Amino acid sequence: MVMLTPASARPLAERPHLATAVGGAESNVACTLARLGHRTAWVGRVGDDPFGAMVTGDLAGHGVDVSGVGVDSGRPTGVYVKDPAPGGTRVYYYRRGSAASAMGPDTAAAVLSARPRLVHLSGVTPALSESCAALVDRLVAGASGGPITSFDVNHRPRLWAGGAAETLRRLADAADVVFVGRDEAEALWGTSTADEVRALLPRPRHLVVKDAGEPAVEFHPEGRTAVPAPRARIVEPVGAGDAFAAGFLSGLLTGRPAEQRLRLGHLCAAATLGTVTDLAPLPAPETIDGLLTTPSWPHAATEALSRA
């Protein structure tokens, strides 16, 4: 989607200048993975309008393959607006009847034809329409012997008319890699700890439970690993979860151990917290490599981020 966000991180009611950018859960992950050195592609649909051209041009500029993106002449590109406030950022979506909402199970063919090593989806997509829900079912719940499936629960209550809790639980428990916030898991399923989430979702090979500034926990075949988050300057939080997922997936794809992949997730998320957009400059590769192995984590990461 195209994103409008106050450049000064002030509430919309104060009529601040709005910056135009591109955002979206899966596309954010694709962009960040590309910046970390991975080959990525984004498959979706945009309208035949300037916003659609902006989306494809921006993603291509980040190194993401957009050859699988369809252009819909009858439906518009979705738009969303961020409204920062002291109590937290609210997001307003203008995507009903958008080009993306017309995706369906047939879109899965475009995804699988590329023979990807990993497919990443989020809980935003099945909320868009019945056909989009069927698409996610095809790629996550219907997958067998194909690519690694990664699913970020990413619950957005404003997009759901009902049924979110069971649908998102079923999809999450069918994926290979799952990301969920401890707070959203509590709101959806009544779980209050990471271990309770694991009891509810026993099947994923890698289950990551994030908890804002508290340690992130990964349940994996070797056991359970928790890694504290570095302190970060928070300008605007939307997009940080996508950055975390991209960092973690980068670590997973390159064979890093659990502690290092969680550290990389934290580093990418912390960088994004310091900007009003969904994508932020990442630390230099040599800085990242050093922080992933330093024995003084998270203090060294906090210091490095404060100098960025």
Q: What's the rounded mean pLDDT across residues 157-166?
A: 89
Catalytic pick among 72, 152, 242, 278: 242
The stretch 262-276 carries a mean pLDDT of 90
Q: Whose CA is closest to 210, among 196, 227, 222, 188? A: 227
Task: Report the interhelical angle of 285-293 vs 258-273 (nearest 10°).
Answer: 130
User: How far apart (Å, rounded) are the C-alpha atoms in residues 70 and 99?
Assistant: 9
Instruction: Look up residue 276 and give its DSSP letter.
Output: S
What pLDDT does 40 receive? 97
Has 242 been annotated as catalytic? yes
Q: What angle do CA 194, 185, 208 make, to 5 degrees?
A: 45
Tens digit of each residue's pLDDT (9 = 90 or more) over 20-40: 989 889 999 999 999 999 999
Alpha-helical regions (H) of the chain: 25-35, 50-61, 107-112, 130-136, 164-174, 182-189, 194-200, 240-253, 258-273, 285-293, 299-307
The mean pLDDT value for 124-141 works out to 93
CB distance 142 to 135 below 8 Å: no
pLDDT tens-place string over residues 245-266: 999 999 999 999 999 999 999 9
**Per-position DSSP letters for 174-199, written without gaps between them:** HSSEEEEEHHHHHHHH---SHHHHHH
Closest CA to 207 of 185, 234, 190: 185
Look over the chain and give the mean of its residue pLDDT values, rounded to a whole number: 92
Between β-strands 2-6 and 79-83, what pairing exists: parallel, antiparallel or unpaired? Answer: parallel
Residue 308 has pLDDT above 70, yes or no: no
First to last CA, the chain: 28
Q: What pTM, to 2 d.p., does this model score?
A: 0.93
